[in-house]
Structure 1
Amino acid sequence: MKNTLYLLFILSFFFAGSTIANEPLSLSAIDQTELKNKLFLVADWQNKQTAHQEKYNPLNWHFATLYIGLMELHKTTGEQKYFDQLYKLGKLHNWTTENRVFDADRIAIGQVYIDLFKEKKEPEIIQRLQWVMDAHLERMPKPDVRFMDNKYRREWWTWCDALFMAPPTFAKMYAISGDEKYLDYAIDNWIITTKYLQDKNDKFFFRDDRYFEHQTPNNKNLYWSRGNGWVVAGLANMLTIIPKNHPKRLFFEDQFKTMVAKIAEVQQADGLWRPSLLDPETFPQPETSGSSFFCYAFLWGVNNGLLDAEVYMPKALKAWNGLEALVNSEGRLGFVQPPGKEPLPYTEEAWEEYGTGAFLIAGCELLKAIDKNEISQSVKKGKLIYDNPLSEKDDLKNWQMEGPGKTEFKENWMHMNSPNEEGHHVLWCPEDFPGSFIAEWEVQNLETDAGLVIMFFSAKGVNGEDIFDKRLKKRDGVFRGYTKSDLNNYHISYYANGRDNRERVVAHLRKNAGFNLVQNGEDGIPAKSTSIHKVVLTKNDNHILMTIDGREVVNWTDDGKAYGAVLQGGKMGFRQMQWTHFRYRNFKVYALE
C-alpha cells in the first residue's frame, strides 16, 4: 500500500512540473533591506495563521521552533515587536512548559524563555524551567535510548528530533547560570543518543531505532531530511555555547563537519533537499523545513570558522535561493512536510510553524554572513599604529590607573586585579587613537567566581577635552564617573559574571555620557572559561564590531541621531570590577586601509 502511494504521488508530481536548477547569488549581491523585509513578510504571515492553534498546544515543539526563529529575528534585526510577542506569550502561560516534563519536545520552549530572561532579568521567567531541568538531572536510572520496546521512550532522547529540542535548552541554562551540570547533562546524553542513532558509515541519523532496517523503495537506508535537519541545527546551537577548551568540544566539531559534508553531497540541483536524503527519487519535491536547517548549518559553520567559505558559502546561497523561490507573495513558505517521522506525501501548499521558524533561523544567519562580508570587504588592517606586548613593567610607561587596581607581570602577561577586592578600576592607554581602527588583544580569566571586564574606546571629554585634562572631574574607577559624568565614550562589557547579576552573560554595548544601552549583544566570554581568548574590536567610523575567538558578540551601527553625534578618536581603557582577576597580552591597534 505504501509503495502504491509513493508511485501515485511521484506521477502526480511529475505531471505538475518540477523545480528548476538555480545559480547561487554572491553575498554582495543580496540587498540586506530586501532580505529583512522578506523575513518580516514570512514571520508576519505566519503570525496571522490560526489553523493550527487548536490542534497543537501553543507551547509545544511545533510552535516553539517558530518562536526560536522569531527570537532570532528580533536579536538580528532589532525588531521589538517579535520580542514583545514572545514575552506576552510567556506571561500569558505563566512561564510554564507542557506537562510530561521529561519529554524533550516539551522543553524546547525553554530556549525562548532563556533568551527573554537575558533581556528582562525577571526571575519568574526561568524559575519553573529550571525546576524542570533540575528534575531531569536528579533522575537515577541509566539512560535508555531505545525507542522500540521501551515504555519510557519519551523520557530519554530516543528520536533524533530531540537533539534540537532539549540539549540546547540545557546548554543555554548553563550559559546564563554558569552551572556546568546543565552542560554536562546535555553533552553526555547527546553522545549517548548519537552513538545509537547515527550510522557509522553514512553519518546520517536514523529517526529512531524502528528505522535501522527500514529501506526505501530503491533499497537505500531511510534518512529523513527534517530529522537530520533537527540534528545538524542542534549541533550548531550546542557549539555556539560549548567552551573552546571543553574536553568534549572536539567531538561536536568533528560530528558537525562530517555530517555537513555528507549533507552537501545530497544537495539537489535546485539547492534544496528531498524528504529521503539518499533516495530523492522517492519523493522528488523539495522539503523546505529540513532544507532550511541545512542552509542554516552551512551558514553558521562558515560564519564561525568551522567550514571553508569557498566550499560551503555557494552551497548555502544556492539553498537560500531555492528556499526564497518557494515563498509566495503573501509570505507563505510552502513545501513543508507536515508532522511525522518519515517521508510522506505533501504539496506546495503545505506549511507549518516549524518550517517558518527554520526559515527565519536560516535567514538571520544569512544576515550575519552579509554583515561579516561587508566588514571584510570594507575593513582591512592598515598600518600598525600601536603595538604593546604588555609583558613587563616598562610596557605601562605613561599608562594611568584609576581606582584601587594593581598590575604585575608574570610569564609575559600583564595581570590586573584589585588587592583584597578593594574596588573597581580602569587602566588607560596613553595613546590617542583615530575614529576608525582595529584593536586586538588576548585575555585569560584567572578567577571565575565573579567579575566584569570592559573596554572603553573613543573616550574624550564631553567638550572634546583629552580625558586627562585637569578641568574634568576626578575619576576613581566608580562607573558613574565614566558613564554619567563629563566623558564621552563607547564601552563594551565582554565578560559579565557579577556577584549581584550572575545570570547576565551577554555583551552590552553602551554609548556615554548617558549610560545608553545601544545593543544587547551575544554571549561574551563564558563565565567559567579559563581559556585564552582573542578579542578583536573594529570601529569603522560609525560601525562597531567585536568578536571573541572569531565569534561575533557585538555588531552595531551608530546613526548619529538617537544618542548624539558619532564619537570619533580618543583613548582606550581596560576596566575591571573589584572581584576580577584577568591577565592581558599583545595589545595591538591598526589603522584601516
Structure 2
Amino acid sequence: MFARRNAGVIATLISSVAMLAGCSTASDAPQRASDPAVATKSYFSNWPEGADPAIVGRRIANNFAARGFDFQVNSFHRWIIYPEVCAWYGALQVAQITEDQGLQQQLIGKFDQFRTPDGARRLSPRSHVDYRITGVVPLEIYLINGDPSYLMLGRDFADKQWESTTPDGITTEARYWSDDLYMLPVLQVQAYRATRDAKYLDRVSMTMVAYLDKLQQPNGLFLHSPDSPFYWGRGNGWVAAGMAEVLSVLPPEHPHYNRILQGYKLMMAGLLKYQSADGLWLQLIDQPDFWPETSGSAMFAFALVEGVKRGWLEASAYGPAARKAWLGLVPYVDAAANVRETVVGTNKASKEVGPDLDVQKKFYFDRPRKTGDLHGQSPMLWTAAALLR
C-alpha cells in the first residue's frame, strides 16, 4: 500500500520541489534560513538509546491503534472527538514513513466501521471545529491508498466548513480561540494536499492572517483569551502546530505567506526565551512557579522541527532547542507508550472561575494532569513524523 501513493501526492512532491527550486531566484521569496539536509544531520540524528523517533513514534502509534473510541465507554460523547482525530492523523503518518504496513492497515481498518450506515452516525454533522476536523482522517487515508471514497468523505467535511461565512470570507465556525488555529487549518490543508485546489489555501491563509492580527501579542505568544490573559501552553501549542501545517503547503508567492511566516517566526522567538533547561515548557509559559506540561511542549517541538528542517528557522539557533525538546519529552513516555503530565481539556479560566486574575491563575495551576491523554499522544506522533520526514 505504501507504494501505491496516488497521483495527487506525486504532484504534491513535484510541486514542492519546483517551489523550493524557485525560492532561490524569485526576488520576493523569503530565503531559507538554513540547509535542511545539514540541519537534519546536525540536530536530528544520532539519537541516544530509547529516543529514536521511529521507535518512539511506532510505540505511540500502536498504543493508539489498540484503543477503542471514547463514545464506546463515555455516554457523554456520541461522535468521534478531535483528540482521536489528531492522534489518528499522526499515527497514520508514522506508520507510512516507517513503512510499517501492518500498523498502517490496522489504522486504516479502524475507519471501516464509519463507512457503514450505522457507523456513519458516529461522524458528527455539527458545524463546529471540534467535529469538522474529523475529515482529516479520511483525507490522510486517501493520500495513502488513493481510494476516492475517502476523498469524497473528507472533502465534504472541508467544504461544509465553509458553507456559511462571515462578510470577510472566513467560516462562521471561527471562534477566535487559540485552539481554532489548528482545528481549522489542518482540515483545509489536508483538503489541499488531496485535491491541489487552491481555494483551500486561500481559505486557510485568510483565516490564519485574521487570527494573527487579532490574537498574537507583541512577544509572539497568544493569550488564552482577552478575558483570560494568560499564556496557556497547549493553547499556544495549537497555534504553533497550525502555522507549521499551513506553511508546509503555502507557496512563498502566495499573498499571505509572508504575513504568516512573520507571525510564526515571532512566536518561535518568543518560545525560545521560555524553554526550560529540561527542554519543556510550562503549563503557563511565562510563570516559573508552574509545572512542565507535555502536550504544549510536544506541539512546540513539532513546530520547531518543521521550521528547522524546512528552512524557515536558523538551524544554529533553533536546531538545539528542537532536539532538546524531543529528548526532554521522551522520558515522559512510559512503558505502555502513554505520555505523562498532560493537562486535561481546559476551558478559558474566565468562563470557569470568573474575572479575578488570581483565581484564574490558580485554576490553570490546579488543572488535573493525565497519563495517556490523547492531547499529549497526538503531538508526540506529529513530532516523530516530522523528525523522520
Q: Decide: shared fold, TM above 0.5.
A: yes
Q: 2:329 aligns with which of 323, 327, 333?
A: 323
Q: 1:302 aligns with which of 296, 308, 322?
A: 308
| Residue 75 (structure 1) aligned with residue 96 (structure 2) | yes
Higher helix content, 1 or 2? 2
Which position in structure 1 is the counterpart of 2:128? Answer: 103
Aligned partners of 2:270 and 2:189: how far apart in 1? Answer: 26
Alignment deviations for residues 250-281 of structure 1 (CA, whole Å, 9 cap, x no partner)? 11111111111101111112110111112131
Aligned partners of 1:26 and 1:79: how far apart in 2? Answer: 25
Alpha-carbon spacing, 1:31–1:167, altered in 2? closer, same or farther (3 Å): same
| Residue 168 (structure 1) aligned with residue 168 (structure 2) | no
Alignment deviations for residues 352-409 of structure 1 (CA, whole Å, 9 cap, x no partner)? 11311111111222234xxxxxxxxxxxxxxxxxxxxxxxxxxxxxxxxxxxxxxxxx
Which position in structure 2 is the counterpart of 1:551? Answer: none
Q: 2:286 aligns with which of 262, 278, 284?
A: 278
Which position in structure 1 is the counterpart of 2:149? Answer: 124
Q: 1:202 aligns with which of 177, 196, 219?
A: 219
Aligned partners of 2:155 and 2:69: how far apart in 1? Answer: 32
Q: Percent identity?
A: 25
Q: Mean alpha-carbon deviation: is it higher for 180-189 or for 255-264? A: 180-189
Conserved? CA contact 1:64–1:354, under 8 Å: no
The Cα of 1:98 is off from its aligned counterpart by 3.4
Give runs of aligned pairs for residues 119-268 of structure 1, distance below 5 A. Answer: 119-142=144-167, 155-199=173-217, 201-207=218-224, 211-214=225-228, 221-268=229-276
Conserved? CA contact 2:186–2:242, under 8 Å: yes
Aligned partners of 2:147 and 2:255: how far apart in 1? Answer: 33
Alpha-carbon spacing, 1:355–1:80, altered in 2? closer, same or farther (3 Å): same
Conserved? CA contact 2:308–2:318, under 8 Å: yes
Aligned partners of 1:179 and 1:365: how far apart in 2? Answer: 24
Aligned partners of 2:335 and 2:248: how far apart in 1? Answer: 34
Q: Secondary structure at the match of 1:166?
A: helix
Which position in structure 2 is the counterpart of 1:94? Answer: 115
Give the AA of the match of 2:113.
L
Give the AA of the match of 1:350.
T
Tell me how large the CA RMSD over aligned residues is.
2.7
Aligned partners of 2:169 and 2:231: how far apart in 1? Answer: 22
Q: Secondary structure at the match of 2:254?
A: coil
| Residue 30 (structure 1) aligned with residue 47 (structure 2) | yes
The Cα of 1:171 is off from its aligned counterpart by 2.3
Give the AA of the match of 2:308.
V
Give the AA of the match of 1:330.
A
Conserved? CA contact 1:32–1:367, under 8 Å: no
Aligned partners of 2:58 and 2:154: how far apart in 1? Answer: 29
Give the AA of the match of 2:299.
F
Give the AA of the match of 2:135.
G
The Cα of 1:302 is off from its aligned counterpart by 0.6
The Cα of 1:104 is off from its aligned counterpart by 1.3
Q: Secondary structure at the match of 2:250?
A: coil
Conserved? CA contact 1:266–1:273, under 8 Å: yes
Give the AA of the match of 1:134.
D
Give the AA of the match of 1:120.
N
Q: 2:73 aligns with which of 54, 57, 61?
A: 54
Q: Secondary structure at the match of 2:342?
A: coil
The Cα of 1:290 is off from its aligned counterpart by 0.5
Q: Secondary structure at the match of 2:241?
A: helix
Normalised to the residue count of structure 2, the TM-score between the two structures is: 0.76
Conserved? CA contact 1:336–1:346, under 8 Å: no
Which position in structure 2 is the counterpart of 1:485? Answer: none
The Cα of 1:144 is off from its aligned counterpart by 10
Conserved? CA contact 2:95–2:103, under 8 Å: yes
Q: 1:40 aligns with which of 21, 39, 58?
A: 58
Which position in structure 2 is the counterpart of 1:475? Answer: none
Normalised to the residue count of structure 1, the TM-score between the two structures is: 0.51
Which position in structure 1 is the counterpart of 2:295? Answer: 289
Give the AA of the match of 1:212.
P
Which position in structure 2 is the counterpart of 1:3? Answer: none
Which position in structure 1 is the counterpart of 2:382? Answer: 361
Query: Rg: which structure is higher?
Result: 1
Alpha-carbon spacing, 1:349–1:102, altered in 2? closer, same or farther (3 Å): closer
Alpha-carbon spacing, 1:274–1:244, altered in 2? closer, same or farther (3 Å): same
Alignment deviations for residues 324-361 of structure 1 (CA, whole Å, 9 cap, x no partner)? 11112232210000111353535665331131111111
Alpha-carbon spacing, 1:321–1:213, altered in 2? closer, same or farther (3 Å): same
Give the AA of the match of 2:56.
K
Q: Secondary structure at the match of 1:354?
A: helix
Give the AA of the match of 1:359.
M
Q: Structure 1: give runs of 5+ residues left out of the alignment.
A: 1-24, 146-151, 215-220, 369-593
Give the AA of the match of 2:240.
V
The Cα of 1:181 is off from its aligned counterpart by 1.8
Alpha-carbon spacing, 1:334–1:247, altered in 2? closer, same or farther (3 Å): same
Conserved? CA contact 2:178–2:222, under 8 Å: yes
Give the AA of the match of 1:54.
V
Aligned partners of 2:137 and 2:330: how far apart in 1? Answer: 25
The Cα of 1:179 is off from its aligned counterpart by 2.2
Q: Secondary structure at the match of 2:317?
A: helix
Q: Structure 2: give runs of 5+ residues left out of the alignment.
A: 1-41, 349-363
Alignment deviations for residues 39-79 of structure 1 (CA, whole Å, 9 cap, x no partner)? 22233234445594523456221101111110220232111
Aligned partners of 2:338 and 2:160: how far apart in 1? Answer: 39
The Cα of 1:33 is off from its aligned counterpart by 8.7
| Relative contact order, higher structure (CA 8 A, sep 6+) | 2
Alignment deviations for residues 531-588 of structure 1 (CA, whole Å, 9 cap, x no partner)? xxxxxxxxxxxxxxxxxxxxxxxxxxxxxxxxxxxxxxxxxxxxxxxxxxxxxxxxxx
Alignment deviations for residues 159-201 of structure 1 (CA, whole Å, 9 cap, x no partner)? 11121112121122123223222221111122222222222x2
Alpha-carbon spacing, 1:100–1:162, altered in 2? closer, same or farther (3 Å): farther
Conserved? CA contact 1:60–1:98, under 8 Å: no
Aligned partners of 2:109 and 2:341: how far apart in 1? Answer: 30
Conserved? CA contact 2:338–2:371, under 8 Å: no
Which position in structure 2 is the counterpart of 1:313? Answer: 319
Give the AA of the match of 2:174.
W
Higher strand content, 1 or 2? 1
The Cα of 1:306 is off from its aligned counterpart by 0.8
